[in-house]
A = this chain, B = another copy of it.
Amino acid sequence: MRQVGDLSASVGYAMKEAASALRSAMDDALRPLDLSVSQYSSLEVLGQRPGISAAELARRTFVTRQSMHGVLTGLAARGLLTRPDAAPQGRALPTELTAAGRDLLRQASRAVAEVESRMVEGLSAEDLRRLHGDLVRCAETLRGGTTTG
């Protein structure tokens, strides 16, 4: 393949299309809770990995740590999470959800789960498993940095 060619046949275009539709649907679902997708993602990761650093959180939500800094500042101002003033060791400031944060996360996670299940409602369990595996493989391959293959 020398060039991209017909976009309707491009996997990358389809991925962008699906990701865009997902983001848009998540935005709609989260708007009543006054949460952006990035904010929700941060809460969700923090719920599963309490006490991780902002840099680690950034990597897991696929943004830079500079962007994550702004997100955390906003969420902390709303009392949804807490960060120590000083690092207990090294430079990392372990972040944790407050009770309010956990409560809002519960609502948000429910709304997002609805979006996700609607998204894949036309797929069988096996299709779903394979789709998930293929997506993860694509991401790993790209990040791997194999220049050509």
Give CA–CA (A148, B122) in the complex, Å: 12
**Nearest CB in chain B: distance from A60 CB, A:** 8
Is A21's CB under 8 angstroms from B119's CB? Answer: no
Closest to A114 in B: B148
Query: In the complex, are the beta carbons of B138 and A18 less than 8 A apart?
Result: yes
A3 engages B122 (CB within 8 Å): no
Residue A99, interface by CB 8 Å: no
Copies in the complex: 2
User: Which residues of chain B are near A143, meaning CB under 8 Å?
Assistant: 21
Q: A33 at interface (Cβ–Cβ under 8 A)?
A: no
Residue A44 at the chain B interface, CB threshold 8 Å:
yes
1/0 contact trace for A1-45 toward B, CB 8 Å? 111111101111011111111101110000000000000010011
How distant is the Cα of A128 from the Cα of B18 in the complex, in angstroms? 15
For A138, what are the chain B residues with a Cβ–Cβ distance below 8 Å? 18, 21-22, 119-120, 122-123
Chain A residues engaging chain B, CB cutoff 8 angstroms = 1-7, 9-12, 14-22, 24-26, 41, 44-45, 48, 60, 62, 106, 109-110, 112-123, 127-128, 130-132, 134-139, 141-143, 146-149
